[in-house]
Amino acid sequence: MARMLQTSGGYPHDTDRRVAMVVLNSLDPDPRVWREAESLARAGWGVVVLAGKRPDQKRVEEGDGFVVLRLFQGFPYGPRPVETLLVWTRFLSYVFSRKRRRFSVVHCHDAETLPLGWVLSRSDGAKLVYDAHELFFDYVPADRYLRSPWQRFKNRVLRGVMSLVERRAIGRCDRVFTVNSSLSRMIEARYGLKERPEFLYNARRYTSVERTTYLRERLGIPVYGKILFYQGAIRPDREIERMIEILPLLEEEWFLVVAGQVSPPRYLDRLRRLAGSLCVGRRFSYGGFLDYEKELLLATASSDMGLFLLPPTNLTYRFSLANKLFDYVMAEIPMIVSDLPEMRGFVEKYGLGIAVDLERRDEIAGAITRLAEDRAMYRRIVANIREAKKELCWEKQEGKLVTVYQELSSSS
C-alpha cells in the first residue's frame, strides 16, 4: 500500500513534481486513471486528479497517495449553453486561482479533456501529456444504435469537433500514451508524430485469485451449471444479443451472466425478452453493476469462461484490447473472443482461449463446447494463463509510465 500524501486544501505538498490528471467522468469506475495516479504517486509525484462530480460525491477525496478534486458538475460541450458556461467558468476560476499550487505536468485522458488541459498547461508552463484511450476520430457508433436523427447529428458534430481539436493539440503534446500497439501505430501515422506513442495495457495489478461460488450463490445458478461471463458496458453497440443467441446451441447446463452498467436501462428488458423468446430465459442473468475492487474479480473467478464478442463497427472496436480481457487473465478463466486483430493476437500469443468468427453462431457454440469437453485443453489454457498473468499485470505497465515521467522531469 502506498503512503498517503499529506494534503493542504486538497493538494499534495511534499514534492515539487506535481501532476494534474484531467478526466471528465466521475471515476466510478475508471481503473486506468486510478492505476496511473497510484503509480505516479508511488514514484514520488504529487498527483491531483481533476474529475467530474455526481451529487452524492465529495468535492475532495483522497486516493492511495493522490487527491481527487471534483470540478466538473456537468459537461463542457453539452447542448445546454448555461451548463457549458458554468463548467468552463468553474474550471477557469480554478486555473487562475492564486491559492492553488502549480503543476509541472498536465495529463489529459481522452480528446475531450485536451482543451481544458491545454489551458491549464499554458497557465502553469507545464508539460502536456495525452492519454488516448480510444481512436477518437473514428469512435462514432453506427447510426442503427442511436434512436433519433437528432442524437446522431449531435454525436457526429461533437466527435467531429473533438477530432479537429485532437489533430491540432496532439502535435503540441510532450508525450502521448494509448492502450495497445495497434492504436499506437495508427495514431502515429494519422498525425505524423515524430515519436510513436507509448502504450500501456489496461491490466490489473497482479492478484492471486481462488475459484469462488459467488455468481452461483448470488443468482441461484445450480452447482452443476457452467457459467459464461461477460463484464463491461451493456448497451446496443456491444451487441449482447449474439451471446444470448448461442445459448440454444449449447447444452442445458450452460448459463450466461452479464454484469456492468446498462445504457439505456430499457436495453436490459430487450435482452430479457430475447432470452425468453428463445426459451433460455432461466439461463440468462444480469449480475448487476459490480464494484471493481471488491466484487468484480470474485464474480469473474466464479465463472467457467469469459466472453467478449465485440463487433468491429469502428476502428476502436476493431482493434480493442479491453480491460475485461486482463480481468479474465487475472481470474484465471479461459476466454472466447472476437476474431479481431488485437484480441486474436492476444489469445494466440499467450494461449489464453479461442478467437471466433462473430457471424457464425455455430462456430462460437462449438468453441465453447470443445473447450469444455477437452479437459486437457482446458487445463493447458489455465496453466498458460497462470504463467501469462505474471507478464499481463499492471506492474509491468507501471514501469513504462514512470520511465516516461522521469524523462519529462529530466527535460524540464
Q: What is the pLDDT of residues 323-357, one digit of tens each?
A: 999 999 999 999 999 999 999 999 999 999 999 99
Whole-number pLDDT of residue 70: 95
| DSSP 3-state of 228 | strand
The grid coordinates listed for 278 are: 428463445
Q: How many CA within 13 A on the CB side of residue 204?
A: 20
Q: How confident is the model at residue 193 (pLDDT cuts 50, 70, 90)?
A: very high
Q: DSSP letter at 114? A: H
**pLDDT by residue (tens digit) across 224-277?**
999 999 999 999 999 999 999 999 999 999 999 999 999 999 999 999 999 999
| DSSP 3-state of 58 | coil
What's the angle, vertex CA 79, arms to CA 74 and CA 83, rounded to 5? Answer: 35
Whole-number pLDDT of residue 3: 38
pTM of the model: 0.92
* Per-chain mean pLDDT for the chain: 92
- Residue 264: asked if its preceding bond is cis (omega within 30°), the reply is yes
Give the C-alpha separation, 383 to 211, whole Å. 14
Asked if pLDDT for residue 283 goes beyond 60, the answer is yes
Asked if pLDDT for residue 36 goes beyond 50, the answer is yes
Strand partners, 175: 129
Give the C-alpha separation, 332 to 18, whole Å. 37
Whole-number pLDDT of residue 144: 53
| Burial grade of 215 (CB within 10 A; 0-12, 13-18, 19 or more) | buried
Kindly report the backbone phi and psi dihedral angles of residue 62, in degrees, each rounded to the nearest multiple of 5, phi listed first: -100, 130
Asked if pLDDT for residue 141 goes beyond 70, the answer is no
**pLDDT by residue (tens digit) across 204-238?**
999 998 999 999 999 999 999 999 999 999 999 99
Size (the chain), residues: 412
Q: How confident is the model at residue 140 (pLDDT cuts 50, 70, 90)?
A: low
Strand partners, 244: none
